[in-house]
């Protein structure tokens, strides 16, 4: 189920079985306002209402890097908000692009200090499988 998108740059979907928001990025060239509206305002409120447990960021096809302003926002405001709203796992799928990989590495390093478990995997399917094995996603309640 699609949550929202930044046309030509990112789209968010909900994976009900994994209780995860999946952000698929193609371009990291967004403004802080676009980022906040998409990820924090729409994505987080959607996930919170559905007992989100994981946030999966697929940057495997992404290019570019987040601005320093967005990276600081992620570390100081977004990750703490994730933790307060039930997100336990922050899962990344990185790009082959050196610049994008560096950007992902820089902001994802701030997950642990905010109380999130950082997991790096090769694909969205690997992320969902990891959640099934380690977080009980898909288990009968």
* Position 103 in a domain: yes
Q: How confident is the model at residue 139 (pLDDT cuts 50, 70, 90)?
A: very low
How high is the pLDDT of residue 137? Answer: 53
Which residues, other chains included, contact 19 with Cβ-Cβ below 8 Å and sequence gap of 6+?
50, 51, 52, 53, 54, 131, 137
* Position 140 in a domain: no
* Position 93 in a domain: yes
* Position 139 in a domain: no
pLDDT tens-place string over residues 102-121: 888 888 888 888 899 999 99
pLDDT tens-place string over residues 51-93: 999 999 999 999 999 999 999 999 999 999 999 999 999 999 9
How much is the mean pLDDT over the chain? 92
What residue numbers bound the domain in which 44 lies? Answer: 2-134
Sign of CA dihedral 48, 92, 80, 72: negative
What is the number of domains present in the chain? 1
* Position 54 in a domain: yes
* Position 130 in a domain: yes
Q: Nearest to residue 85, comparing CAs of 28, 39, 31? A: 39
* Position 44 in a domain: yes
The CATH number of the domain where 17 resides is what? 3.30.750.24
């Amino acid at each position: 189920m699609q949550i929202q998108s930044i046309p030509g740059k990112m789209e968010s979907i909900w994976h009900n079985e994994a209780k995860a928001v999946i952000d698929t990025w193609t371009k990291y060239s967004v403004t802080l306002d676009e980022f906040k509206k998409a990820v924090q305002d729409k994505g987080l409120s959607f996930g919170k209402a559905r007992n989100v447990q994981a946030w999966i960021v697929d940057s495997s096809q992404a290019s570019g890097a987040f601005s320093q302003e967005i990276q600081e926002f992620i570390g100081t405001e977004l990750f703490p908000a994730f933790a307060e709203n039930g997100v336990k796992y922050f899962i990344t799928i990185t790009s082959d692009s050196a610049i994008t990989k560096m950007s992902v590495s820089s902001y994802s390093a701030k997950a642990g200090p905010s109380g999130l478990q950082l997991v790096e995997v090769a694909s969205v399917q690997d992320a969902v499988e990891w959640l099934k094995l380690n977080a009980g996603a898909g288990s009968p309640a």
